[in-house]
Amino acid sequence: MYRRTMVALLIGSAVGGAVRLRAAEQPVEIKISAKKFEYHPDKVTVKVGQPVILVLTSEDRIHDFKMPDFGIRTDIVPGQETRVSLTPDKVGTFSFHCDVFCGDGHEDMEGTLVVEA
Ligand SMILES: [Cu+2]
């Protein structure tokens, strides 16, 4: 009984390790464009532990990308790509929003990052 449990644990950790290794090989690039007063896409889904590079652009003026749950805050300047590396280490739904006042709809400029197990 004890032995069987140990074998199951070993197999379980080997499989988990393989998945983690494969996920770590190649970051996934996710493009998000910003304009008054929205992000496109405004919902992004990723896997926990999967390295991600957010490629942020703006179509009109300076916006911002702030995601407090992951300690991210960066300006998004028109005409350039802003790249942010992120490896989500927790499952859940996390919001991001604009942190630079950009006009009357600024307060509604937000989106969500869904991190799946
Ligand atoms: Cu704004």
Q: For ligand 1, a single-atom ion, which residues have Cβ within 5 Å?
A: 98, 102, 106, 109
Gap from CA of 102 to ligand 1 centroid (Å): 4
| Residue 43 host element (H or E) | strand 43-47
pLDDT for the residue numbered 9:
45
Q: Is the pLDDT of residue 109 over 70?
A: yes
Model confidence, pTM: 0.78
pLDDT for the residue numbered 111:
98
Q: Which domains does the chain have, with CATH numbers?
A: 28-116 (2.60.40.420)
Gap from CA of 109 to ligand 1 centroid (Å): 6
Gap from CA of 98 to ligand 1 centroid (Å): 4
Cα–Cα distances in angstroms (integers) from residue 104 to residues 38, 50, 55, 57, in the given order: 12, 36, 25, 20
Using the Cα atoms of residue 40, residue 91, residue 27 and residue 45 in order, give the sign of their dihedral.
negative
Quote the radius of gyration of the chain (alpha carbons, Å): 18
